[in-house]
Structure 1
Amino acid sequence: MTMKHRQRVPGLRRLVSATVAALTLTVAAAPNAMAAPATPQEETLQWVSAEDYLATTGASPDRGKLDIGALSKPLPEEGVAPDGAPASLRPRLDPGGGNDGKWWSVVWSGRDRNGTYVPLRLGNSDLGYLHYNVRHNLVSLEPWKAALNSHGPNAQGNYVALLVDRNLGVRETVIFGVQLSTRTQDGRYTSPDGAYIGVITGYCKGKNKCPDAVNRVKVS
């Protein structure tokens, strides 16, 4: 079943505002800091496209003035668990909705900001969702939805999503390799529907398997 592309991920400025508000509350509560021990809270994370992140932080995405890797604070790999995404964040492989189990079945599709239609196909061991979901523990569709909020792939032919914290620190970088052609480079696959092949693979930068946290964060 093909799902409609959602609206672009909101800007990160509200994250900055939330951080400032949190710091204000921290300062105001300082006199009572000894009276009440801090209680652990789940970290606030958000998916954004690399393009949105670079634009918000004042860097030029096309010139690459910002080294994302230098800012990265990766999540620990502990807790990795295959198929860890909530059911609501996984693709719905509905045989009655056009996903008939063939490799070219589209499990989610959308258009980037240039209007280019880029499908995520069910795939197989060579390409698409079935190629990367278990192999790289990337089950949720949310990183791909965020990555598509870009004016096309980067110079390496990838769409990139960033998982950022409230201080705009990059916690994970998820890379999606795509092929914007109707036939794969090796000539083995041609899309029967005439649309682009789309997503070939997806993975967390520098890791064989993504931390399970990437499967729990929804695009806001």
Structure 2
Amino acid sequence: MRSPKTRRIALVAAAALTSATMVASAAPTAVAADVPDDTVSVTTPQGEEVAGSGLMLSSDEQFVQQFGAEKARAHGISEDDAEQTEKNAAANDAILGDARATHWSVRKFVGTDADGRHIPTRQGNREFGWVHFSGPHNIKSSKVIKTALSEHPEKKQGHRLEYGAVLHNGLGLILARVRVIVQYHWETKDHKYKLADHSEKIGVITAFCQGTNRCPNALNEV
């Protein structure tokens, strides 16, 4: 038989164990909702939903530097159909009419390319400039234009320069490809719009997402 002293020790130990169990049971249990999740689910132009690690906006050159030329070529960055897409976009814009805004030459912001060119985006009207692409093509962030202009021109034809940018996730999945067309001269190609100061440039003529007339809203949120 246990001595009275032994029985007292056993009872004290049992009570301590019971208290510890009750405290442990009262502690909050972590659930999935308490754990921060910085993974973003994105939808590709083909309708596929892919888990990424956040969206980023890069010029085409920056994308190549980050993910390599092979992956860039796989997405068609070095072999684009910008010319045809621009024609399609221009045809859609023509439906809106050719009403001209008064102060078309007002500069909204200026970007600088890798060669040191200072390229303005002007107020414009439905034929070119900010008014032309911000509504119909859903590019409402100056960051989109400045990011594309930060690289070297991808194409040069007379005074016409072309730049590109891509919206992608951390895995290199491209969600949208942006083209920015610039008239680096004091008058437009059709001589319709002219600047009094011939040292100034018309700047961004249009910007759009290839393969679609309206860019995704996510482009304006990065």
Question: Where on the TM-score scale, by shorter chain, does this alignment land: which range?
Answer: 0.5 to 0.7
- Superposed displacement of residue 65, structure 1: 7.3
Residues 139 and 207 of structure 2 are in contact (CA less than 8 Å); yes or no, is this contact kept in structure 1?
Answer: yes
Q: CA deviation at 1:40?
A: 8.6
How big is the shift at 1:117? 1.3
Higher radius of gyration, 1 or 2:
2
**Secondary structure at the residue paired with 1:173?**
strand
- AA aligned to 1:140 is S
After TM superposition, the structure 1 = structure 2 runs for residues 96-175 of structure 1, keeping only pairs within 5 Å, are: 102-155=103-156, 157-175=161-179
Q: How does 1:191-210 map to 2 (within 5 A)?
A: 191-194=195-198, 195-210=200-215
Corresponding residue number in structure 2 for 1:42: 40
Q: Distance in 2 between matches of 1:47 and 1:204?
A: 13
Residue number among 178, 181, 184 corresponding to 2:182 in the alignment: 178
| Unaligned runs of at least 5 residues, structure 2 | 1-30, 42-53, 78-101
Counterparts of 1:66 and 1:42 in 2: how far apart (Å)?
25
Question: 2:215 aligned with 1:214, yes or no?
Answer: no
Aligned-partner SS, 2:125: coil
Question: Which digits, 9 at most, give the CA deviation of each residue in 1:34-79, with x for residues without a partner?
Answer: x85897953410111001112333329xxx9724338xxxxxxxxx
Tell me if structure 2 keeps the 8 A contact 1:116–1:152: no
* One-letter code aligned to 1:165: N
Instruction: Give the Cα–Cα distance (whole angstroms) in 2 for the partners of residues 153 and 171 of structure 1.
Output: 20
* Structure 1 residues 65 and 205: CA distance shift in structure 2, 3 A: closer
Sort the Cα spacing of 1:40 and 1:146 in 2 relative to 1 into closer, same or farther, 3 A: closer
Q: TM-score, normalised by structure 1?
A: 0.61
Correspondences of 1:13-28 after superposition (within 5 Å): none
Change (3 A) 1:133 1:160: same
Deviation at 1:153, TM superposition (A): 4.1
Residue 17 of structure 2 corresponds to which residue in structure 1? none
TM-superposed deviation, 1:165: 0.3
Q: Does 1:69 align with 2:69?
A: no
Moved beyond 6 Å, runs of 4+: 37-40
Give the share of equivalent positions with the same residue, in percent: 32
| Code of the aligned partner of 1:55 | Q
Q: Give the count of matched residue pairs.
A: 151
